[in-house]
Amino acid sequence: MKSGITIPLFWKFAIAIVCTVSIFGIINLYFTNYAVYDLYENELKRHGNTTAISIAERSINPIIYNDVVSLNNIVSSQKDIDSTYAYIFITNKTGDILAHSFDHIVPVELKNLRSYSSKIDLATQKITDKNNQETIIWDIIAPILDGEYGYVRVGLYERNFSSSIKKTSEIFILMIGMFVILGIIGALFFASIITKPIKIISSISKNIELGTLDVQKDDVELTLLNTELVKWKNFLNINDEIDVLITSFGEMVSRLKNTYDELKKTEKSLLHSEKMASLGTLSAGLAHEINNPIAGVKNCIRRLKETPDNVSQNNSYLELMEDAVLRVELVVGGLLNFSKKPKLSFSRVNLVDIIENVLLLTEFQFDKSNISVLKKYKNKAVYISGSANQLEQVILNIILNSIDAIDEKRVADKSFKGKITINFTPNHSRVILTIINNGEKIPEEYIHEIFDPFFTMKKIRQGTGLGLAVCYNIMEQHNSKISCKNLESDGVINSLEFPVYRVS
pLDDT tens string for the chain (504 positions)?
A: 455 577 776 677 778 877 887 787 778 777 766 776 777 778 778 888 888 899 999 999 998 888 989 999 999 998 888 877 888 999 988 888 999 988 888 888 888 877 766 554 555 666 666 666 666 788 888 898 888 888 999 988 876 555 556 677 777 778 878 887 887 777 777 777 677 677 777 776 776 666 555 554 455 555 555 555 556 555 656 666 666 776 677 677 777 777 776 766 654 443 334 334 334 433 544 565 677 788 888 888 888 888 888 878 888 888 888 888 887 776 665 455 434 444 567 889 999 988 987 887 777 678 888 899 999 988 888 889 988 878 888 888 898 889 888 988 888 888 888 999 999 887 778 899 999 999 889 888 888 888 887 777 776 655 566 678 778 888 888 899 999 999 988 899 999 999 987 765
Q: CA-to-CA distance for 136 and 125, rounded, in angstroms? A: 11
Distance CA 405, CA 400 (A): 9
Going by the DSSP 8-state scheme, the letter that residue 441 receives in this structure is P
Q: What is the pTM of this model?
A: 0.38
**For residue 245, which amino acid is it?**
L
Q: Which phi and psi (to 5°) does residue 175 adopt?
A: -65, -40
Distances (CA, A) of 337 to 48, 242, 278: 65, 41, 11
User: Residue 74 phi/psi, 5° resolution?
Assistant: -60, -45
Give the list of residues 6+ apart from residue 335 with CB closer than 8 angstroms, or none. Answer: 282, 283, 286
Name all domains of the chain by residue range, CATH numbers in brackets: 9-163 (3.30.450.20), 345-499 (3.30.565.10)
Please, are residues 346 and 479 in contact by the beta-carbon 8 Å criterion?
A: no
Of 444, 463, 352, nearest to 401 (Cα)? 463
The Cα–Cα gap between 185 and 484 comes to 57
